[in-house]
């Protein structure tokens, strides 16, 4: 019997494949990318037609070895990685490795792609294989080369001119610019006062309200009533003219249709999951990946949604037919339109051959899966199911009414009302909004006719102030990135993660605020590399990559055009002055030299230009001449040297340190560490505490420190290692392999995928 090897990225997907394809196929996982550019200068040889030097990713070496070994025994190879550029690149790299190691030896190689992990889709894909796509491979190589050339040339310049450890990226830098420019817009904003005059009314047993729109025959704009005195004056005039009632002068009735939103793309799924579920873009994509790759449902591993990296909004005819049957049976024929709803993408680069994100079977409602899914999986699946079903339902019908009422001639109040006549799709799903409350039905007004008199119960003056534009949330940032064409939907989560991990932005109350470091980096790049953080330039570069993937452009000429100008500009900026230093007129109170506002590891501070001879510093918000005297911790002494303990301020806020620093470097957190409840595996006398290091990194250590110094970087899990029996495992998160349970003992090496909650887990950049 012939044997076939099929390779996918993840073990979960491999497990599903094995069940669907039978004994003729062996399914193995590559665990993501297997090769990448070597991490050193010259990995992209700009002098040799952009030749690229790849190296094996060390942590996936054992998986590659297993694939090579299996391929030597197999008769044919099926490459079934994800149906996008990244997936094509993984397949190509595997092919190149297998060829180099002599594992192919003329055996047939097939590329198969599918957009949902179901038995029928997989078997159909096996029957319709294709060759590796040179265009998709070249597009991914061009993207990787561009990102490398920008990172390896701009980042060292930032190290030299701003601070070590910083980075600049082809798409992260324009994204940072968006956040910084919004913050600057907020800071420039000046609130403007205005007032509205509103009336509380009653007619036919129903209370309602109306707002003044015209006064003395003139229409009121937003700032027509700009201060309290004018509002008092208008209120007094209206009271005298109304005489306790208003007269209905016009009634306008309309029926309005509200259409359903199209099914989800990657971008809109990230936006809605942020609005409705509070999920980060990374959490959304991680959970969607789990639903796509397959979940155990009563002993069978089933892929629950179609491929989650897509910018298309169309649905397969078979899927639409099933959705319509679900609507007919569950919501009634009256909610089913005569013809299916057809959606077209607004993006010129959308791949209409792909589908939108949808359930693999609409006949599998969320409640039927409740017992099999983790809470976040259930919530995301329910969101996708509802949006998909709603997109094929009839529009909602709303009756709207607008009533004009006069308080004497020329003084007009308007009341608006509406109610849902036929909910249609709204019975299943309504789209959220970014920066305003979700739309609610307006008040239901009493039945009024022209000439009716309405009781005036009260007049109210309401003070308002204009508000600045809101800071970006994850949803609104993703929406703006898509609108500008910065990156592609599949990269939004990593863009946001990079900005946070580099500490260019912080996420506070679900809104992004730039840090001092982020502002300085943005200023430096905007002033000296304006072309490369320009939104239009970034979008055009993405268009070029899409054109390469379609075979309309060659990848090397695109790189050549970019590199010529970029290289010259990098060389020209080697001599620019260091940013982040602002000279002050104030003199140092210790030595008399000039002070300067500088960017340090903890943000801006004020320091003496005579450093290191003079070490005077103070916080930016402290008064001139202040010596930044630390606050002494009463009743405690340093456990190392016996000196006083003081409260200091660092990059991550306040902490307790020894007053004899730098002679004694003892420090400890100001806040009490959180108890994980997991027993220390070394001393077995105390539990592990979640702590923060002096550099802000989260770690977990024994509560008996310093008597017991056992510590790990990753969240501990109260579960013994199945390989070496060490009392605990840890939860490790990396970009390439996702979330895993790993043994903290390096010599053991145990690791397996983990799909539970990760409370307090922080991905370690060094491990990614």
Active site residues: 307
Number of Cα atoms under 13 Å in the Cβ half of residue 587: 5
Q: Peptide bond preceding 662: is omega within 30 degrees of 0, i.e. cis?
A: yes
465 phi, psi to nearest 5 deg: -135, 140
Q: Are 730 and 712 in contact (CB under 8 A)?
A: yes
C-alpha 398, offset from chain centre = 35
Q: Cβ neighbours of residue 153 under 8 Å, at least 6 residues apart?
A: 566, 567, 570
405 phi, psi to nearest 5 deg: -130, 140
Report the alpha-carbon angle 642-645-649, nearest 5. 150
DSSP 577: P
Q: How far, in Å, are 117, 282, 471 from residue 294 at the CA level?
A: 7, 19, 37
Rounded CA-CA distance 292/516 in Å is 40
- Three-state DSSP at 530 gives helix
Q: Are 381 and 373 in contact (CB under 8 A)?
A: yes
How large is the greatest C-alpha to C-alpha distance in the chain, in angstroms?
Answer: 98
Report the alpha-carbon angle 484-486-490, nearest 5. 125
Report the alpha-carbon angle 122-126-131, nearest 5. 125
- Three-state DSSP at 166 gives coil
Q: Are 504 and 533 in contact (CB under 8 A)?
A: no
Residues in the chain, total: 768
Q: Output the six-digit token pair for 286.
A: 């991680």
Q: Peptide bond preceding 706: is omega within 30 degrees of 0, i.e. cis?
A: yes
CA torsion sign for 350, 351, 352, 354 is negative
Q: Cβ neighbours of residue 221 under 8 Å, at least 6 residues apart?
A: none
- Residue holding tokens 């259409």? 259
């Amino acid at each position: 019997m012939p044997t076939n090897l099929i390779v996918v990225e993840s073990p979960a997907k491999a497990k599903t494949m094995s069940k669907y394809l039978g004994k003729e196929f062996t399914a193995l996982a590559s665990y993501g990318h297997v090769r990448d550019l070597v991490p050193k200068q010259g990995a992209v040889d700009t002098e040799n037609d952009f030749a690229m030097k790849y190296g094996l990713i060390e942590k996936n070496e054992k998986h590659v070895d297993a694939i090579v070994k299996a391929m030597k025994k197999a008769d044919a190879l099926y490459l079934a990685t994800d149906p996008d550029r990244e997936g094509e690149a993984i397949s190509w790299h595997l092919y190149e490795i297998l060829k180099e190691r002599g594992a192919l030896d003329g055996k047939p190689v097939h590329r198969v792609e599918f957009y949902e992990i179901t038995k029928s889709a997989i078997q159909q894909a096996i029957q319709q294989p294709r060759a590796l796509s040179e265009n998709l491979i070249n597009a991914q190589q061009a993207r990787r080369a561009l990102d490398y050339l920008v990172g390896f040339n701009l980042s060292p310049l930032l190290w030299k001119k701003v601070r070590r450890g910083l980075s600049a990226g082809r798409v992260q830098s324009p994204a940072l610019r968006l956040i910084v420019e919004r913050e600057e817009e907020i800071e420039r904003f000046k609130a403007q006062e205005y007032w509205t005059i509103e009336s509380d009314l009653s007619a036919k047993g129903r209370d309602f309200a109306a707002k003044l729109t015209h006064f003395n025959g003139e229409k009121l704009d937003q700032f027509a009533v700009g201060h309290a005195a004018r509002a008092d004056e208008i209120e007094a005039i209206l009271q005298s003219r109304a005489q306790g009632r208003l007269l209905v002068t016009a009634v306008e009735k309309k029926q309005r249709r509200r259409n359903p939103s199209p099914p989800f793309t990657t971008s809109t799924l990230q936006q809605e999951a942020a609005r409705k579920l509070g999920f980060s873009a990374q959490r959304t994509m991680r959970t969607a990946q789990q639903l796509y790759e397959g979940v155990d449902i009563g002993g069978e591993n089933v892929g629950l949604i179609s491929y989650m990296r897509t910018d298309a909004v169309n649905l397969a005819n078979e899927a639409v037919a099933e959705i319509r049957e679900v609507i007919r049976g569950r919501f009634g024929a009256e909610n089913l339109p005569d013809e299916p709803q057809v959606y077209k993408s607004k993006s010129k680069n959308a791949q209409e051959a792909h589908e939108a994100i949808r359930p693999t079977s609409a006949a599998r409602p969320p409640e039927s899966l409740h017992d099999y899914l983790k809470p976040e999986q259930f919530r995301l699946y329910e969101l996708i199911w509802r949006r998909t079903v709603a997109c094929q339902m009839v529009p909602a019908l709303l009756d709207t009414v607008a009533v004009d009422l006069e308080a004497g001639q020329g003084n007009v109040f308007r009341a608006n009302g509406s109610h849902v006549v036929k909910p249609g799709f709204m019975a299943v799903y309504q789209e959220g909004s970014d920066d305003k409350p979700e739309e609610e039905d307006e008040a239901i007004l009493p039945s009024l006719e022209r000439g009716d008199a309405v009781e005036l119960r009260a007049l109210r003056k309401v003070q308002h102030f204009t508000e600045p534009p809101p800071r970006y949330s994850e949803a609104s940032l993703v929406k703006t990135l898509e609108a500008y064409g910065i990156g592609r939907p599949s990269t939004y989560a990593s863009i946001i993660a990079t900005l946070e991990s580099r500490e260019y932005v912080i996420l506070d109350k679900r809104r992004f605020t730039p840090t001092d470091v982020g502002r300085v980096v943005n200023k430096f790049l905007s002033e000296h590399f304006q072309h490369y953080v320009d939104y239009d330039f970034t979008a055009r570069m993405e268009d070029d990559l899409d054109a390469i993937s379609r075979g309309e452009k060659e990848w090397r000429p695109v790189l050549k055009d970019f590199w010529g100008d970029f290289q010259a500009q990098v060389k020209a900026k080697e001599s620019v002055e260091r940013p982040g230093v602002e000279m002050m007129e104030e003199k140092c109170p210790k030595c008399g030299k000039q002070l300067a506002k500088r960017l340090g590891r903890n943000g801006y501070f004020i320091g003496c230009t005579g450093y290191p001879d003079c070490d005077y510093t103070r916080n930016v918000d402290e008064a001139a001449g202040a010596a930044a005297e630390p606050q002494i911790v009463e009743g405690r002494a340093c456990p190392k040297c016996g000196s006083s303990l003081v409260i200091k301020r660092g990059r991550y806020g306040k902490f307790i340190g020894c007053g004899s620093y730098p002679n004694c470097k003892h420090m400890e957190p100001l806040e009490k560490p959180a108890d994980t409840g997991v027993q220390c595996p070394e001393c077995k006398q105390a539990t592990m505490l979640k702590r923060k290091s002096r550099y802000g990194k989260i770690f977990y250590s024994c509560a008996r420190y310093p008597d017991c110094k056992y510590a790990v970087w990753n969240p501990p899990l109260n579960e013994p290692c199945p390989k070496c029996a060490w009392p605990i495992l840890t939860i490790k998160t990396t970009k390439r392999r996702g979330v895993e349970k790993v043994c903290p003992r390096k010599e053991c090496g145990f690791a397996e995928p983990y799909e539970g909650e990760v409370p307090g887990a922080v991905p370690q950049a060094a491990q990614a």
